[in-house]
Structure 1
């Protein structure tokens, strides 16, 4: 379910419920998707505001609210039921809710594609090489074993690769693995899933 702020909720409600018919809402959703591709164009707000006899800010906030609703829903790929729950709080008539749902279903793949293009390209995993070095004994320390793990982590970003060399002892590595497994376990809890859904 997408969390809509009170301010956006009021703007969407004022725009869509009080002024716009279904065809205009469809056009606004098309404009919202177009804005995601090319950025905002204030002239479109002004033209629409004149036609509808409302303020430019009302039109702008209405389209921005639609953009938020569509992008957040598409980003999380929420189900039809969750989308309907998200717009239910706006108090729209049933036919308007159905229209918004259909617009979401028709456009979510394209919106996700646009969001993927806009997303920054962070370094990501390409390959990992490792080596275990063990000093079995020395004249100074006859009984002590000193294992050392050397990792060469290859990352890729924008088609370029770079390598990072890391060293650790097995005890530290095992501790790190336990902590990561614990964190992954926490991510499966209902509480964490609810938080992640709200911050995406």
Structure 2
């Protein structure tokens, strides 16, 4: 059996595996919880306090992320090579008890990761255009002094990528038969989805902040490693 390759940085983060098997179990549980619910900094801080030596919550977090990378690497390696990966070749210095924990971890969570990889390969809707308007109600019969600001947005979504230089809402109908036009409209209905969204200013600010945070996180090495492992 061959083994998947881990980067030296990932191996360095996984030095925390050189611990009793019971503590490695907690790390594996934290890794799966990360996949389902996202990072839990409070939990990493509690684990770090249990460890002897110079171990902080950031080191625990990086070890959890490296375990996720290991799980993805092993899963994709198994899919590609048609057989299980050899965990013992990756970590020859770990005890048999810890290796058994790791083997059970990657085997029990493999179906979950495979399902996530398949879902990631499904073409999701992409935003291709956006219309918006600002609506303000300045007064009413009930309240003379009133200012309600509402933002209304229409999102044009499509499962196929579109050229930025193409008119997204218009179709060139010249020199096309009715059958061709019918097929084009059917394709649009099948792949396109329009959403009307209305929100207030505070919610819009929160939405923009969440999207900006997600954009920053998408550029981190951790996310790039996970994406590379999936694809």
Over 3 Å counting, the alpha-carbon distance change for 1:36 and 1:115 in structure 2 is farther
Match of 2:5 in 1: 3
Deviation at 1:88, TM superposition (A): 1.6
Do the aligned residues in 2 keep the contact of 1:32 with 1:67 (CA within 8 Å)?
yes
Which structure has greater helix proportion? 1
Given the alignment of the two structures, is residue 64 of structure 1 paired with residue 65 of structure 2, yes or no? yes
Rounded to whole Å, the distance in 1 between the matches of 2:42 and 2:82 is: 33
Match of 2:190 in 1: 161
Do the aligned residues in 1 keep the contact of 2:72 with 2:230 (CA within 8 Å)?
no
Do the aligned residues in 2 keep the contact of 1:83 with 1:101 (CA within 8 Å)?
no
Deviation at 1:87, TM superposition (A): 5.0
Which TM-score applies when normalising by structure 2?
A: 0.48
Match of 1:107 in 2: 109
Unaligned runs of 5+ in 1: 125-149, 164-196
Deviation at 1:90, TM superposition (A): 3.0
Match of 2:40 in 1: 41
Specify the SS of the correspondent of 2:5.
coil
Specify the SS of the correspondent of 2:190.
strand
Which TM-score applies when normalising by structure 1?
A: 0.54
Given the alignment of the two structures, is residue 29 of structure 1 paired with residue 31 of structure 2, yes or no? no
Do the aligned residues in 2 keep the contact of 1:71 with 1:111 (CA within 8 Å)?
yes
Match of 1:188 in 2: none
Over 3 Å counting, the alpha-carbon distance change for 1:109 and 1:62 in structure 2 is same
Match of 2:51 in 1: 52
Tell which deviates more after alignment, 92-101 or 61-70: 92-101
Rounded to whole Å, the distance in 1 between the matches of 2:113 and 2:50 is: 27
Rounded to whole Å, the distance in 1 between the matches of 2:73 and 2:5 is: 9
RMSD: 3.4
Rounded to whole Å, the distance in 1 between the matches of 2:37 and 2:120 is: 11
Rounded to whole Å, the distance in 1 between the matches of 2:120 and 2:36 is: 9
Over 3 Å counting, the alpha-carbon distance change for 1:111 and 1:27 in structure 2 is farther
Deviation string, structure 1 residues 42-80 (Cα, Å, up to 9, x no partner): 111111101113222221121111111012322454479
Rounded to whole Å, the distance in 2 between the matches of 1:119 and 1:30 is: 26
Match of 2:144 in 1: none
Do the aligned residues in 2 keep the contact of 1:77 with 1:108 (CA within 8 Å)?
no
After TM superposition, list the pairs within 5 Å mapping 1:84-163 onto structure 2: 84=86, 88-91=89-92, 92-117=94-119, 121-122=123-124, 123=159, 161-162=190-191
Specify the SS of the correspondent of 2:85.
helix
